[in-house]
Amino acid sequence: ASKIIGVDLGIKNLLTTPVQYFGQFSEKLKDKIKQNDLKRRRKQKLNACLKKKGLVPVSLHNEKLDGFIKNEIGRAINLFINSVTEDTTVVLERLSISDMRFKSRNMNRILKASKIGYAMDRLKQKLDLKHIRYASVPAAYSSQQCSCCGYIDRSNRPTQEKFICKFCEYTDNADVNASKNIAKRFGDVELKDLTDFREMKPFLLERF
């Protein structure tokens, strides 16, 4: 029988399965973003001077930062692919990166820098190359839903990393809990037919 593994894509850990984390480079990325901000501000001041003199401005784009992120993404994906056997079905979130938002402005900047959309595309390419089957399922509320009892509440996730169900008190790492929900949504015909994000919560709570 084939194995089913749910994968949650995130910032703290690029890829999370129910048993493993891949790509824990968020702290390094935070430092590099700070360094990049300082360089960017210096370049903006320089460009203001160059503009006054009618000279060509310097590029604000940081190719080194881009290279670092893509390299870390590639490394994490390779480690994950090497951990998966050909009889596995990898279940991914059907993500809308443009809809992903954090309260913290800094976290939103890290989200943008993390290139989650690029990571998802690269992961699918690698899975195709290795002939490993994958499927995408609706991502809505996978981080707020309890993988044990199915209860959904925003307060189930008190911090970015912690999940504590308000109904059954099930406790887990938030990304691990999400990866379990993603795996459970594979093959769910009723859920597959729901295309409107707003229909998801009432539907899932009715099941609960």
Domain count, the chain: 1
Is pLDDT above 80 for 194?
no
Rg (CA), the chain: 20
> 72: which residues sit within 8 A by CB, 6+ positions away?
14, 23, 25, 28, 29
**Mean pLDDT of all residues in 78-94:** 95
> Could you tell me the pLDDT band of residue 160, with boundaries at 50, 70 and 90?
confident
Is pLDDT above 80 for 109?
no
CA distances from 128 to 9, 36, 90, 125 (A): 18, 34, 11, 5
Report if pTM > 0.85.
Answer: no
Range of the domain at 96: 3-207
Task: Give the closest residue to 84 by CA, choosing from 164, 194, 2.
Answer: 2
What percent of the chain is predicted at pLDDT more than 90? 51
pLDDT value for 204: 87
Task: Give the closest residue to 13 by CA, choosing from 5, 22, 4.
Answer: 22
How many CA atoms lie within 13 Å of 152's alpha carbon, on the beta-carbon side? 16
Q: What is the mean pLDDT of the chain?
A: 87
How far is 131 from 129, CA to CA, in rounded Å?
A: 6
> 41: which residues sit within 8 A by CB, 6+ positions away?
none
**Mean pLDDT of all residues in 143-150:** 95
> Could you tell me the pLDDT band of residue 145, with boundaries at 50, 70 and 90?
very high
Task: Give the closest residue to 24 by CA, choosing from 106, 79, 66, 63.
Answer: 79
Cα 113 to chain centroid, rounded: 12
Separation of first and last alpha carbons in the chain: 28
